[in-house]
C-alpha cells in the first residue's frame, strides 16, 4: 500500500506543478482566468499574489518528489517523512480552501483528493507492516 500511496503522491505533485504553471506563468491567460473565474482586471491585480502562491505549490511538489526519490533510494523513513509533509500540506491547503471559500469546493476537492488518498494509503501501509 505504501508504494501505491507514493505513486498517488507523485500524481498529486504533478498536479501541483501544473497549478504552479497556471498561477506563476500563465495567470492572466484567458484559459486560466476562466478556470479560476477571474476577470482580466482581477487577474492583473492579483498577478503578484498568484505568482507567489504558485511557488508554494511548486515547493510542495518538490518536497513530495524528493521524498519519493529518497524512499526509492533506500531511505524509507526520511522519504516518507517528506512525502507526508508535502502531501499533508497539499491536503491541509485544500481543506483551508474549502472551508474559507465554500464556493470553491470543487477546486478544493480537485486539489485535495490525491493527497488525501496518498496519505491514507501510506498510513495504512505503515500500520500493516
Positions of the chain with pLDDT lower than 50, given as ranges: none
Alpha-carbon span 106 to 13, nearest angstrom: 18
| Beta carbons of 22 and 56 less than 8 angstroms apart | no
**What confidence tens digit (pLDDT) does each residue in 32-53 have?**
999 999 999 999 999 999 999 9
Phi, psi at 83, each rounded to 5°: -65, -40
Buried b (16+ CB within 10 A) or exposed e, 75-95: eeeebbebbbebbbbbbebbe
Chain-centroid distance, C-alpha 115: 7
- Report phi then psi at 75, rounded to 5: -115, 65
Residue 23: is it exposed, middle or buried by C-beta count within 10 angstroms (0-12/13-18/19+)?
buried
DSSP secondary-structure letter at 113? H
The predicted structure's pLDDT at residue 129: 87
Nearest Cα residue to 22 out of 59, 58, 64: 58
CA distance 74 to 20: 29
Q: What is the pTM of this model?
A: 0.94
How much is the mean pLDDT over the chain? 97
Amino acid at each position: 500500500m505504501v508504494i501505491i500511496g507514493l505513486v498517488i503522491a507523485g500524481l498529486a505533485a504533478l498536479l501541483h506543478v501544473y497549478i504552479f504553471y497556471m498561477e506563476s506563468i500563465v495567470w492572466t491567460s484567458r484559459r486560466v482566468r476562466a478556470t479560476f473565474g477571474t476577470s482580466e482586471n482581477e487577474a492583473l491585480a492579483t498577478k503578484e499574489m498568484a505568482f507567489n502562491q504558485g511557488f508554494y505549490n511548486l515547493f510542495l511538489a518538490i518536497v513530495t518528489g524528493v521524498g519519493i526519490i529518497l524512499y526509492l533510494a533506500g531511505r524509507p523513513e526520511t522519504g516518507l517523512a517528506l512525502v507526508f509533509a508535502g502531501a499533508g500540506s497539499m491536503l491541509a491547503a485544500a481543506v483551508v480552501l474549502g472551508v474559507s471559500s465554500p464556493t470553491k469546493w470543487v477546486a478544493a476537492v480537485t486539489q485535495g483528493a490525491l493527497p488525501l488518498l496518498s496519505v491514507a494509503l501510506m498510513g495504512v501501509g505503515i500500520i500493516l507492516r
